[in-house]
Each structure stands twice: as C-alpha cells, then as structure tokens.
Chains A and B, each alone.
Chain A
C-alpha cells in the first residue's frame, strides 16, 4: 500500500528525478567509483589488465607499508604537522576574534578585518612565492632583519629544521583572519543581558570573558574542532607541496605529497592506494573518537 503510494508520487514528480539524475550520476561516477576502485590496494594493479584483470595480493601492500622506514618518517611528519596546526592554527582565530571584539572604533575594526581576511583568497602557489621571497637568504625581508642584527642569514627553505614551522606558519598567515568570521558571528549573537547582569554583580572584564564569552563560544569551538579533526591527515596537498624541495623533503613530506610523488610519478598505484586507505581509516577513527569524547565532555557533537 505504502509502496504503491510512493511509486505513484514518484511517477507524478518524475521530472524532479530526471533533473536530479546528472547530479546523482556525478556523485556515483566521480566519488563512489573511485572509492570502489580502492580495491586495487589489495591487488598488483596493472594498467593493461585493469581492476578486474589484475592479480590479488591480499594485504601485501599494507605489510610493505609498515615495513618501510620511509613510511614511518612520513607518518611522523603528517602527525606532527597536523598536531602543530591544531595547537597553533586552530587557536589563533579564537584569540584574534576575542581581540577584534574588544575594538570599539568601527572604522578601525573594519579596516583590520579587511586586511586580515585578505591572504585567504590567494592561492598556495602565490603564498609560497611570497614566502620564498620574504625568506630568501640573499634578498628576503626576514634575513635583512637578521643581518641587521649582526647574525648570519638563514636559508629557511633549504633546511630540514624549518620546514614544518614554515608550513604551519604560512597556514596561520593565510587563514587566521578568515577563521575569525564564524567566531565573530557567534560573539555578536551573545545576549547582552548576560553582560548587564554581570555588570550589576560587579564582574570585571576578565571575569566576564571567562564566565560569559568563552562558555558562549564553546559550542562553536567544539564543532569547528571536530571538523578540523575530521580533516586530520587530510592536510591538503597544495599547502605542503608548494614548499617542498629536495633539501627539506625529509621533514616536510606528508601522506598526500608522498602519494602523488610515488604513486603518480613512479606509477606505484596499488601501494600508494593502500596508504590512502590507511589515511582515511585513521582519519575516520579520530573523528569518531573525538566526537564521542566531545559528546561526553561538553554535550556538543557533530552527529
């Protein structure tokens, strides 16, 4: 009965299904077919034999992965860069939004916002160009300053020890201002009556911040934090790749750049797909774990 009714409604609105068809086909073809194509991680994929004709090797590529010293190094890089990013790049917009919120002069506030949002629209290629210029040992701004203090110039991008800081730092430079938008909206939504009541009770500005502003921001912070965790390990190819060179690769290479380098340029399709699967599963576990933790601790969760 139900089914018949449903079918009748579907027939009546068949045009809606026809309109949706290309979009559905897009998601199946470009998102789900590659997802299923991941089975090549369990094969010795051969271009000429394709997914159906290649030989199955079980977990051999996963075993190979864990036995590679290079894999451990890249895992470490990926985890460290993400950890630094969460520690610094995630907290920076919260602090900046709180500071911006204290600015009472409307014109000054607008101007500062306009300036700090700006780098977000530049591509990573341009960002890397600017950073390479500013950090250049012979002509860059930073080394000019270092030399004027009487020290030797530093070749920042030619040295393993700076690459992670550069990757995280350039991310902060590009996106901190942008990240404040959602916090500023949340701050604007706080009920002023709360502050008035606190004034009557004689609270000072710091007490108001600790007891009203931050608790009101907490749901927003939690949600954005969970989203960030969801993208853990999915750091983004471009923002790392544009800074890598043979001199700093050892500490800078992450899964995404490694998959491109070894997978596409050296045709190791099956092995790097195994790495991709590993990456996705770890990311999913982290997300589910963080979501569970957050629901127990703060009552906020993504789902």
Chain B
C-alpha cells in the first residue's frame, strides 16, 4: 500500500530534482557556448557578446575548417587507426583471452597473473619509447596500433565472457573434428557478439581520442591524428600575444577563437552521433568488467 508522502518529503524531491537539473545544465551550457561562438562573427566574439546564441551569424569559421586540407588529412588518419586498430585489438585480445579461459590450459594462472601485474606496475614511459624507437616504429602509424594491442582490463572482460560459454559446446565441437582456431572463430566469437561490440567500442573510442602516443611517436605532420592537429590549433590560436594572429584575422574575416570553436564542434560531432549506442554498450561493458569470475 503506497503511503502518502509527507510535505517535507515532497519538498525534498523537488529540491533534489532542481539541483540535478542545474548539474545537467552545467554539463550542457559549455557546449552551447562553444557552438554559439563557432557560428558568430569575430567582432561579436571579441566584444564578449556571444553567450548561448550566435551573434552576427556566420559560417566563415566552418568554411575555414572545411577548406583546411590538413584537418581532413588528420581526420582520415584517425579514421584509419580507429578501424584498423580496433580490429587488430579485438583479434589480439580474443586470441589471448580464449586459451586462458579454458580449463585445459595448463599454466593459465601464471599467465593471468602476468597480465594482472602489468595493471599494477605499468611499463615506464622512457623505456617504452626507446623500445618503440628500436623497433623502427617511430613516425609510422603502426606505433599507434601495435604497442596498444591488448588492454589488460579489456582482456579480463573478454575472458570472463568466454568463461560463461559452456564447456560441453567446446567439447562437442572437438569431437566433431574442429580445430581450436576454428572453434574460436566459428563458434566462440559468433556467440560473443555482445562482448565484441562492447570491447570494440571501448577500443574505438580509445583510438579516436588517442593523443599522447601520437605526440610521442609521430613527428611527421602528415601523419598527425585529429587530436594532435586539434590541440595544435587550440594552442596556437589561444596565445593572446601571437603577433601573426592579427594578420590572420583581417585576412580571413574569421577569428582564431571562432575557428577553434568550429574545429572543436567538428571533432565532437562524430562522437556525439554514436553516443546513444556508446552509452548502452559502455554501461554493459563497465558492469561486465566489474564482475568477479
């Protein structure tokens, strides 16, 4: 029987909801501010008139961004490492997680500990850099893909998923004459689509946002991924005392500020478009990963 709610309880619920709405606005308003600036004229931005709505509406900032070939190139590099990298990640993770999820694998405790240990004691930066250098991967996109082949956390998520696949299924496939590789690729992986999708998205977001590794390993400007290019634009243009910025502004009738904001919006949109899917998968994976075996 539902009890009638007391007035103080009702007031509490209202205040609670009110605070949550304010908190949500704090999440949203910065986006609106950036969006409004990206559509505003340089004069309006400089005078500090732009808050949440474009002032002196203009598309010049976006025109500039879309005409800049180096942004397109960086975008292409990022799409490439996201696709190739994610596929590589999934294969590498699955081929290690599958054997280590099987009871027949002697020595799996030791190997599991070996993986776990890297989560506690991670490889130091400089020796890792020297290794990548020695392997001749500097200034190549392989440096953004191969050294991050398996994330230990994702490995454990995938393994706990594989553990739930019934042993009988594996055994009967073996009796039918299936080799282990075929069991993995034709039986286990098709059954693991939810796990593959979840981890695929984990890995894809990681590659899409990759910045530090590219900063370290990539010097060739033609191979810059989007985040590095973006950072360069944000920093270059945010310098107030940049002597070239005046010339830049009058020449293009756009403002560095506006271009910066337009670039941020352009780089954010792909993530926001897949966000509803991301949210669902991520939450699933997050909870799956937090479960114990």
Chains A and B bind each other: yes
Residues of A within 8 A of B (CB): 6, 9-10, 12-13, 15-17, 19-20, 22-24, 26-27, 29-38, 40, 96, 99-100, 102-105, 108, 111-112, 114-119, 121-126, 128-134, 136, 138-141, 143-144, 147, 173, 177, 181-182, 185, 199, 205, 230, 234, 237-238, 241-242, 245, 256, 259-260, 263-264, 269, 272-273, 276-277, 280, 284, 287
Residue among B100, B227, B264 having the largest count of chain A Cβ atoms under 10 Å? B264
User: A99 near B184 (CB under 8 angstroms)?
Assistant: no
Per-position contact with A for B269-293: 1 when CB-CB < 8 Å, else 0? 0011001101100010011001000
Determine if B177 is an interface residue (Cβ-Cβ < 8 Å): no
Residue among B20, B111, B150, B180 having the largest count of chain A Cβ atoms under 10 Å? B20
Residues of B within 8 A of A33 (CB): 127, 131
Q: How far is the CB of A130 from chain B (nearest CB, A)?
A: 5
Residue in contact with B131 in the complex, picked from A37, A237, A241, A256, CB distance below 8 Å: A37
Docked complex Cα distance between A35 and B121 (Å): 8
User: A126 near B267 (CB under 8 angstroms)?
Assistant: yes
Q: How far is the CB of B138 from chain A (nearest CB, A)?
A: 11
User: B124 near A99 (CB under 8 angstroms)?
Assistant: no
Per-position contact with A for B1-26: 1 when CB-CB < 8 Å, else 0? 00100000100110011011101101
Residues of A within 8 A of B126 (CB): 40, 259, 263-264, 269, 272-273, 276
Interchain residue pairs with CB less than 8 A apart (15): A16-B98, A19-B99, A20-B96, A27-B114, A30-B128, A34-B131, A99-B16, A102-B13, A103-B20, A122-B209, A122-B271, A125-B234, A182-B287, A264-B129, A273-B126
Docked complex Cα distance between A4 and B24 (Å): 63
User: A205 near B99 (CB under 8 angstroms)?
Assistant: no
Q: When A and B form their complex, what is the total count of cross-chain residue pairs whose Cβ atoms lie within 8 Å?
A: 243
Given contacts A20-B99, A31-B118, A132-B238, 12 further A-B contacts (CB under 8 A): A15-B179, A22-B96, A37-B131, A40-B130, A108-B17, A112-B24, A126-B230, A126-B268, A136-B257, A173-B27, A182-B290, A272-B125
User: B48 near A129 (CB under 8 angstroms)?
Assistant: no
Residues of A within 8 A of B268 (CB): 122, 126
Q: Given contacts A139-B37, A139-B48, are A23 and B20 in contact (CB under 8 A)?
A: no
User: B211 near A35 (CB under 8 angstroms)?
Assistant: no
Docked complex Cα distance between A16 and B146 (Å): 22
User: A125 near B230 (CB under 8 angstroms)?
Assistant: yes
Q: How far is the CB of A209 from chain B (nearest CB, A)?
A: 11
Determine if B252 is an interface residue (Cβ-Cβ < 8 Å): no
User: A129 near B286 (CB under 8 angstroms)?
Assistant: no
User: B37 near A133 (CB under 8 angstroms)?
Assistant: yes
Residue of B nearest to A237 (CB): B212
Residues of B within 8 A of A32 (CB): 114, 118, 123
The interface size of chain B toward A, counting residues with CB under 8 Å, comes to 91
Q: Given contacts A27-B150, A99-B20, A141-B51, are A15 and B181 in contact (CB under 8 A)?
A: yes
Per-position contact with A for B202-229: 1 when CB-CB < 8 Å, else 0? 0001001101100110000000000100
User: A20 near B105 (CB under 8 angstroms)?
Assistant: yes
Docked complex Cα distance between A38 and B128 (Å): 9
The 8 closest A-B CB pairs, nearest first, are: A23-B96, A37-B127, A123-B209, A34-B123, A15-B180, A276-B124, A34-B127, A20-B99
Docked complex Cα distance between A96 and B19 (Å): 10
Q: How far is the CB of A13 from chain B (nearest CB, A)?
A: 5
User: B283 near A181 (CB under 8 angstroms)?
Assistant: yes
Residues of A within 8 A of B283 (CB): 181
User: B27 near A276 (CB under 8 angstroms)?
Assistant: no
User: A264 near B230 (CB under 8 angstroms)?
Assistant: no
User: A130 near B181 (CB under 8 angstroms)?
Assistant: no
Residue among B123, B126, B149, B283 having the largest count of chain A Cβ atoms under 10 Å? B126
Docked complex Cα distance between A182 and B291 (Å): 11
User: B20 near A112 (CB under 8 angstroms)?
Assistant: yes
Q: Which of B28-36, B58-66, B79-87 interfaces with chain A?
A: B28-36
Residue in contact with B275 in the complex, picked from A96, A121, A185, A280, CB distance below 8 Å: A121
Docked complex Cα distance between A225 and B47 (Å): 46
Docked complex Cα distance between A229 and B72 (Å): 41
Residue in contact with A123 in the complex, picked from B17, B114, B208, CB distance below 8 Å: B208
Q: Given contacts A124-B211, A129-B230, A138-B48, are A173 and B127 in contact (CB under 8 A)?
A: no
Residues of B within 8 A of A115 (CB): 24, 27-28
Determine if B193 is an interface residue (Cβ-Cβ < 8 Å): no
